[in-house]
Amino acid sequence: MLPAPASPFPPVVSAAVEAERTDEGPRFGGQAQHLTFAAVGADYRVGVLIESPAPGKRLAPRHYHLFEEEHAYVLDGELTLLLGEERHVMKAGDYVAFPAGRPVAHSFLNSGDGPCRYLIIGERKPHDVCVYPDSNKVAVNALGSGRSVLDLSASRGYWDDESDV
């Protein structure tokens, strides 16, 4: 027996989706439109966003995910992909994939003086580890506790502070 028909989710007009703006100093800033949030809500397992870093800025530090993959497609303008130690100029129509578990950090820089936009599609798993090698941080999302950002240089030994009992 088939399940009862569900109500369809109507198409989302991206121009009508409110942009979330960020400004984190001289290196990070711009806006992002969360298309998935507008279409099906924040708890969906795939995230689709249109991101637009301000000229000369990025929206995220260089990072990589251990359990989530990401894909990006340039919609318009020109940007520089920071990929490991390499830099790649990307233009409208260019695509790149970031498979999960590959320790190659990435970030997008609006290296021009005008606007650029790209579509980013990524998994939104309940458990992930995201590594930020430039700042020696790791973000851990596990066990439904939300996201914790930890300093990798503050390491501890396995037996530290264990009692003698």
- Encode pLDDT of 2-21 as tens digits: 878 888 889 999 999 999 99
Domain boundaries, the chain: 20-125
Find out if CATH 1.10.260.40 is the number for domain 20-125. Answer: no
Q: Read off the amino acid at residue 47.
A: G
Which pLDDT score, from 0 to 100, does residue 163 have? 65
pTM, to two decimals:
0.87
Which pLDDT score, from 0 to 100, does residue 144 have? 65
Q: How far apart are CA 17 and CA 31, in angstroms?
A: 12
Q: Which residue has the higher pLDDT, 95 or 150?
A: 95
Distances from the Cα of 144 to the Cα of 105, 125, 127, 141, angstroms: 25, 11, 8, 7
Which pLDDT score, from 0 to 100, does residue 158 have? 66
**Residue entry with tokens 């919609």:** 75
Which pLDDT score, from 0 to 100, does residue 164 have? 63
What are 39-97's pLDDT values in tens digits?
998 888 999 999 999 999 999 999 999 999 999 999 999 999 999 999 999 999 999 99
